[in-house]
Amino acid sequence: MSSTYLYFAFFVSLALVAASASATDHGGYGPHPDPNLVKPSLNKEKTLSAMIGVQGLVYCRSGRKRFPLQGAVVRITCLASDGSGYEAAPFSFLSEATDAKGYFFATLSPYEMQENRKIKECKAFLDQSPLETCNVPTDAKQGITGALLASYHYLSDKKMKLFTVGPFVYSSAPTSGSNY
């Protein structure tokens, strides 16, 4: 046999092995061929049945002074799953602009949720400062990395789960000690 024929046979065999391997694992995409695959249990997740409220304060820190920041906006981003238990695209909603005391409030109603979406977790982030002289977000109380909405007070008269986060802080200049 010629060496050309042996090389050809070797490469054909290699190609068949590679094709067989990629056909069985789907290249990591698509439906999994294993019929014993178990979906994670999502029993703890419930469709949003009550209004969600998020409140907190936003301050500006300039030097050693800290004062309420009027007009700031906070973004709340949530992870959710669909009716089948698969991860859905994250979604966000914004607070109203903070008042003169730096107070913000944001709500999410069950009617605003897409049908069959189940919230897995939500985090609040600094989103926008109205002041050019105080617009550097800090990670105080997880203003940059996101404050997890973990515990709430249930307001039965409003049928609302009220979460409190912060206070969040914007700074007039970046500093290495922005965790405060």
pLDDT in tens, 141-171: 999 999 999 999 999 998 999 999 999 999 9
Is residue 23 predicted with pLDDT exceeding 80? no
pLDDT in tens, 123-143: 999 999 999 999 999 999 999
Q: What is the pLDDT of residue 109?
A: 86
Q: What is the pLDDT of residue 33?
A: 46
| Residue 4 DSSP symbol | H
Say if residues 118 and 46 touch (Cβ distance below 8 Å): yes
Q: What is the pLDDT of residue 89?
A: 87
Q: What is the mean pLDDT of the chain?
A: 78
Characterize 132-162 residue by residue with b for buried, 16 or more Cβ atoms within 10 angstroms of its Cβ, and e for exposed. eebbbbbbbbbbeebbebeeeeeeeeeebbb
pLDDT, greater one: 172 or 73: 73
Q: Say what the pTM is.
A: 0.69
**Euclidean distance between CA atoms 99 and 19, whole angstroms:** 63
Q: What is the pLDDT of residue 174?
A: 73
Q: What is the pLDDT of residue 86?
A: 86
**Euclidean distance between CA atoms 112 and 116, whole angstroms:** 12
Report the candidate in 55, 62, 58, 61 with the shortest Cα–Cα distance to residue 72: 58
Q: What is the pLDDT of residue 2?
A: 54
pLDDT in tens, 34-66: 444 333 333 334 445 678 999 999 999 999 999
16's tokens: 């068949």
Q: What is the pLDDT of residue 112?
A: 76
- SS3 for 115? coil
In DSSP terms, 144 is beta-bridged to: none
Q: What is the pLDDT of residue 83?
A: 78
**Euclidean distance between CA atoms 50 and 159, whole angstroms:** 6
CA distances for 155 relative to 18, 95, 108, 158, angstroms: 60, 19, 14, 6
